[in-house]
Amino acid sequence: MDRLDIPDAQWTRVSPKYVWPELIGYLVTGLIVAAATAPLWLLGQWWTYAITAVVVVVTIVVAALTPRRVRAIGYQLREDDLLLRKGILFLRVVAVPYGRMQLIDINRGPVVRALGLSDLKFVTAAAASAVTIPGVPADDAERLRDRLVELAESRRAGL
């Protein structure tokens, strides 16, 4: 068995309510981009309408895949590190060693906060390695942050 081939039952999933902020973000972006292509219609060419149609179709496809993509996000606390899994077609698994965690930040944007969710952001010793677990229920996020801070402090003390 591959080290990262861990059964699905052990992964903690993000809240299913996280679909809404993602969906709203993609639909608003698609609407803005589609509206930005509308002035091209004044040219009266067929391809100007095709550009808008492509933007609308891509937005619909991305919106349709959003629930599945959110279900694919999960994390797992292991003995020495935190695993984060994201992606459907391109699976990304990130391992963050507890001893490398320097900052654990809880972010709550307006839509996420209205749904009672939070995003946990981990800053490690490597500047380019900010890892985020989105869509964690607010109470769980605070407990998880406290637990990870405790684990990080104990691992750094052992270095």
The per-residue pLDDT for 58 is 97
List for the chain the helix, strand, coil content (%; round to 5).
Answer: 55, 25, 20
Domain-by-domain residue ranges, the chain? Answer: 16-70, 73-157
Q: Where are the alpha helices (DSSP H) in 91-137?
A: 110-114
Residue 12's H or E segment, with its range, is strand 12-13
Transcribe 127-157 into DSSP letters.
TT--EEEEEEEHHHHHHHHHHHHHHHHHHHH
For residue 80, how far is the Cα from the chain centroid?
22
| Distance, CA of 81 to CA of 157 (rounded, Å) | 15
The per-residue pLDDT for 79 is 87
73-157: what CATH class? Answer: mainly beta
Per-residue pLDDT of the chain (159 residues; tens, 9 = 90+): 455 555 555 899 999 999 999 999 999 999 999 999 999 988 889 999 999 999 999 999 999 999 999 999 999 999 889 999 999 989 999 888 888 888 889 999 999 999 999 999 988 877 666 789 999 999 999 999 999 999 888 877 555
